[in-house]
Structures are given as structure tokens and as C-alpha cells.
Amino acid sequence: MMTAHPDIAQAMRAVQEAVALVEGDPLRPGYHFRPPARWMNDPNGTFYHQGYYHVFYQHNPYVADWGPMYWGHARSRDLVHWEHLPIALWPSNEAGESSCWSGWAGLDGEGQPLAIYTSVAYRETPQGREYARPFEQWAARSDGELEVWEKHPANPVLELSRDGQPGFADEWRDPFIFREGGRTFLVIGKAGPGTPLYEARDQSLTRWDYRGLMSEISSECPNFFRLGERFVYLHSPHAAVRYLVGDFSLETLRFTPEAEGVLDPGRVDGNGFYASNVAFDDRGRCILFGWIYGFAEGQEWQGCLSLPRLLTVGHDGHPRQQPVTELTALREQEVRRGPQALSEGVTELPELAGDMLELDLTLKPGPGGRCGLVVRRSAEGERGALIAWDGESLTVAEATVPFDLQGEALRLHCFLDKSLVEVFVNGGRTCISRVLKVEEQDQGVGLLCEGRGAELVELRGWRLRGVW
Ligand code: DQQ
């Protein structure tokens, strides 16, 4: 029988003390996953196990800011309703560990739950915080319920002096495991010269052999996995998450990318989607998650998870992201509009006023100007978050990214959740997430038409229920 480390009970009490302070915050997402209170960043070790989607995440239980990292933990049967579970990982201060950074969780070769993460040790000095040793990759194991975890006696499972090549950076981090051809591999981020690839020596997944660099990329949070016939590499380069789609050779153990781009280009000006992770479920779906950050400060909470997105590869070799269909469970009564020619300016949609909405609309843009939507619009119309296309670029709440309609109509599938919006564009060719600066009372929604001739082909909209 495993017993939880006492530091976990203390950390969870700290989180509980803050719960009352965050309840009722009108800007806090109501149907996105988030911790009970305080800070979250990267989703870690997302995986599907015995009917549940498990999400671990970087969590500071003590303040709503980044700091000593624990692994928060929650599970869901339907990707909509979440159950918070006890904090899974804690820094083992007695072993000199100060922080448990990002990593992977799943089953080892014998079916036992295992997490592999980056163990960070630092000390405070008059000049500030400094690392006490190079980062190490540690493991933790759990019983079948995944509720109680213990650090693995084999730690560290990877360390620079033993398993790293000379020239790897001390701050190598964010191990991620994938399986291919009956073999189990691990990649690591921020190593310096590229992405180190290790192969498991046995079923324990605690003993690894270095197999060379599988790519030149050296970035945070590498996710590398097979998706149908292709291989996908997602990484977080201190800027918007990037994707590469290509081939991986089991002979050369090299990844050859063929298509590349930005996964969610909303990450600008200190907010957006970052540090992706994926889970494969019993239906073979690849579910993508990311950390959304940049909410208003000064609260006892910060950060949430993106909506779970179905990730596929399109015929053009680039990824497609779609909201998982389970999210339809949040819908209240449907509102329909269109087809209709749009008059110049903003056409109010009073029947959809609100701050938790799903809006799925198809527009035929006119010859000039912008068309799209305004959400969180003030009564006088002087404030509001714009989601619009101008013939060349999409703007979502001040993030502007080039977008070629390729001759199609414009389809915007938007999820507004208080001060967060996620916009899936044209069948998930891109998805743009933005945290909004909003006033509580601004609840208006409208269709935008600047210039001539934009036409609403169809709009379906719903107010959405919260899950917390
Ligand atoms: N966040 C973690 C690191 C990772 C970074 C620390 C990415 O492991 O590289 O909280 O946001």
C-alpha cells in the first residue's frame, strides 16, 4: 500500500484555503479545466486509462504564480466534467529536489502507472535563485488507481553525467515517451544541439540507452508521436507552439519533417496557448491540450487548460484541430440565423448575449473590409473583442495572423468562456486562443461587416453551461 507524502496534504490544504477566494470570479473560465485555485501551467502526462482521461499539470499550490512545481491531477470520463484528484507529485526537499517540472505519464511495459519528469534543484543566494545541480529526469510510480504516487528507487533515471552526451545543456527537460514498432523511446527538450532520443532497455522504463539526436530542434515540451500514417512533432520554443509533420525511420531513428507551421498563433503579448500535450484514447483519437495563460493578475488563480481538441492530419499534410464532440453536452438552446446579407457595422445578436457561448458561423466575405464577430461587446459598442478576417489576415482579440481562405467561405467556430476565446477556423486549419481584457458587464455579441457585401451563410449559436 502506498501512502501519500505529508507535503501533499499540506499543499492541498493551501489550495483549499484559496478556493473561497476564487469562487464567483466573473472572469474565470467556467467550462475550461482549471485547478481548484492558485497557479497552473503546462499539462503533463495526459493519458487515457481505464475509462478516464487523466490530466496532470504544473501546479503551484501556494500562490497564483509560477514557483516550486507540484503535479496537480484530475480525471474526466467525457473531457467535459472533471474530478480533481489529490496532488500527484511534490518536490522531495529531503532529497534536494525543489521542483517537479514537466514530463510524461502512462504505463510502463508491465502495465504499472509511471511518470517521468524533470527534477530541478535550486538554492536561494543573495544574487537570486541558482540551480544546485544539472537537471535530472526522475520517475515516480503509482498503484492502479493513480491517486498515490511515490518516487522511484531508481532515480535519477537519466542524468547528464551518466546518460547525456557532452554538450547537452544542464537545463535539459520535459521528457516525453512514445512507442513505435514494439519499441519504447523517450525524447527530451532543451538539450542544446537537438532532440536526444533514448530507447528503453527493459519494461521498467527506468533504464535507457542513448540513440542519437532524432531532430535538430531543442525546445520546451517536445511531443513526438504517430498520427495515422504520419509522425507529428509539437514543441514550445518560448513562442507559439510549432508543429512538424513528417516521417520517422526506425532504421536511422531520425525524423524527417515535410510540413511545418504554428499550431495556435494566438500566443502573443504575454497570453495564449503554450506547452502542448496529447492523450490517445480507446477510440484511437489523439486529444490535444495546451496551457492557456495571461489572465488578469491579482487573483488567487491563474491559468487553465485549452479545450480538448481532436488532432488529425489533413490531406495537405498539415494538422487539423477540432473541438471534441463531447463539448456539445454544454449547449443550451440552439439559436439559428441566416442566410442574410449583413448591413454595414455591427448586427447585434441579443438572443446570444452572454459570456459563455459557442458560435459556429459561416460567412461569405465581401470584396473589401472586414467581417466576423464581436464578443464581450459593451452596451454602447465602444468595447468588445474582435474576431475578424480582412481579406488576408485573421484578427482575434489583437492577435493578427495571415490566413488564406483558399477560395472557401470563412468558417469561425468560437468558444467564449468569460475572459477566454478559442476560435477554430475553417475546419480546424488553425485555432487561435486569446485571453481577453474584458469588463464584467460587457456581454453583447454581434456580427461585424465593414465594407460591402458580406453575407452570413449560417449561424448556429448556444449559450453554454459551466461545469464547476
Ligand atoms: N514549464 C515547465 C518546464 C517547461 C516549461 C516548468 C514550459 O518543464 O519547460 O514549469 O512552460
Q: What is the pLDDT of residues 415-430, one digit of tens each?
A: 999 999 999 999 999 9
Q: What's the gap in Å between 395 CA and the centre of ligand 1?
A: 28
Give pLDDT, residue 1.
78
Residue 59 clears pLDDT 80, i.e. is over it:
yes
Amino acid at position 42, single letter? D
What average pLDDT does the segment 306-331 reach? Answer: 98
Q: Which three cell numbers stand for residue 426?
A: 475553417
Amino acid (one-letter) located at 173: R
Virtual torsion, Cα 280, 321, 437, 399, nearest 10 deg: 130
Q: How much distance in Å is there from the Cα of 66 to the middle of ligand 1?
A: 10
pLDDT at 210: 98
Query: What is the pTM for the complete model shown?
Result: 0.97
- The pLDDT of residue 145: 83
Percent with pLDDT over 90 in the chain: 96
| Phi and psi based region of residue 390 (left: phi greater than 0; alpha: psi -120 to 50; beta: remaining) | alpha
Query: What pLDDT band is residue 411 in, cutting at 50, 70 and 90?
Result: very high
Atom of ligand 1 nearest to the CA of 101: 8
Q: Cell for 240?
A: 507559439
Nearest one of 70, 39, 467 to 295, comparing CA atoms: 39
Residue to probe by mutation, ligand 1, list 104, 173, 274, 292, most atoms within 8 Å of CB: 173
Q: Are 174 and 219 in contact, with CB atoms under 8 Å apart?
A: no
452 pLDDT above the threshold of 80: no
Query: Quick one: which of 221, 149, 155 has its CA closest to 191?
Result: 221
Note the pLDDT of residue 451.
82
Alpha helices in 404-451 (DSSP H): none
Could you give phi then psi for residue 39, rounded to 5 degrees?
-95, 140
Residues with CB under 6 Å of ligand 1 are 41-42, 58, 69, 101-102, 118, 173-174, 220-221, 236, 274-275
425 contacts 323 by C-beta, under 8 angstroms = no
What pLDDT sits at residue 244? Answer: 98
Residue in 38, 41, 89 to alter for ligand 1 test, most ligand atoms within 8 A of Cβ: 41
Q: How far apart are CA 183 and CA 418, in angstroms?
A: 44
Q: Ligand 1 mean position to 275 CA, how many Å?
A: 7
pLDDT (average), residues 180-200: 98
- Tens digit of each residue's pLDDT (9 = 90 or more) over 239-258: 999 999 999 999 999 999 99
Specify the pLDDT at position 367: 86
Query: Count of H helices and E strands in the chain?
Result: 2, 38
Q: 467: which residues sit within 8 A by CB, 6+ positions away?
A: 30, 31, 80, 81, 82, 330
- Which mutation among 40, 69, 218, 220 tests ligand 1's pocket best, with the greatest number of atoms within 8 A of CB? 220
Between the CA of 171 and the centroid of ligand 1 the distance, in Å, is: 11
Separation of alpha carbons 317 and 331, rounded Å = 32
> Do 221 and 277 form a contact (C-beta atoms < 8 A)?
yes
Please answer whether residues 186 and 198 qualify as being in contact, where contact means their C-beta atoms are separated by less than 8 angstroms: yes
Helix or strand run (H / E) with residue 216: none
Ligand 1 atom nearest 102 alpha carbon: 8
Number of the ligand 1 atom closest to the C-alpha atom of 274: 11
Which tens digit of pLDDT belongs to each residue from 258-299? Answer: 999 999 999 999 999 999 999 999 999 999 999 999 999 999
- Residue keyed to cell 466534467: 81
| Main-chain phi, psi angles of 192, to 5 degrees | 120, -85
Ligand 1 pocket mutation pick from 56, 58, 69, 120 by most atoms within 8 angstroms of CB: 58
What was the pLDDT predicted at 235? Answer: 98
Average pLDDT, the chain: 97
Q: Mind listing the pLDDT tens digit for each residue in 117-160? A: 999 999 989 998 899 999 999 999 998 889 999 999 999 999 99
Distance 414 CA to ligand 1 centre (A): 28
Rg, Å, the chain Cα set:
23
Per-residue 3-state assignment (H helix, E strand, C coil) for 376-413: EECCCCCCCEEEEECCCEEEECCEEEECCCCCCCEEEE
- For residue 291, give the ligand 1 atom closest to its CA: 11
Å from CA of 102 to ligand 1 middle: 6
Q: Across 11-82, where does the E strand assignment appear?
A: 38-49, 52-60, 70-76
Nearest atom within ligand 1 for CA of residue 220: 9
Residue 145's H or E segment, with its range, is none
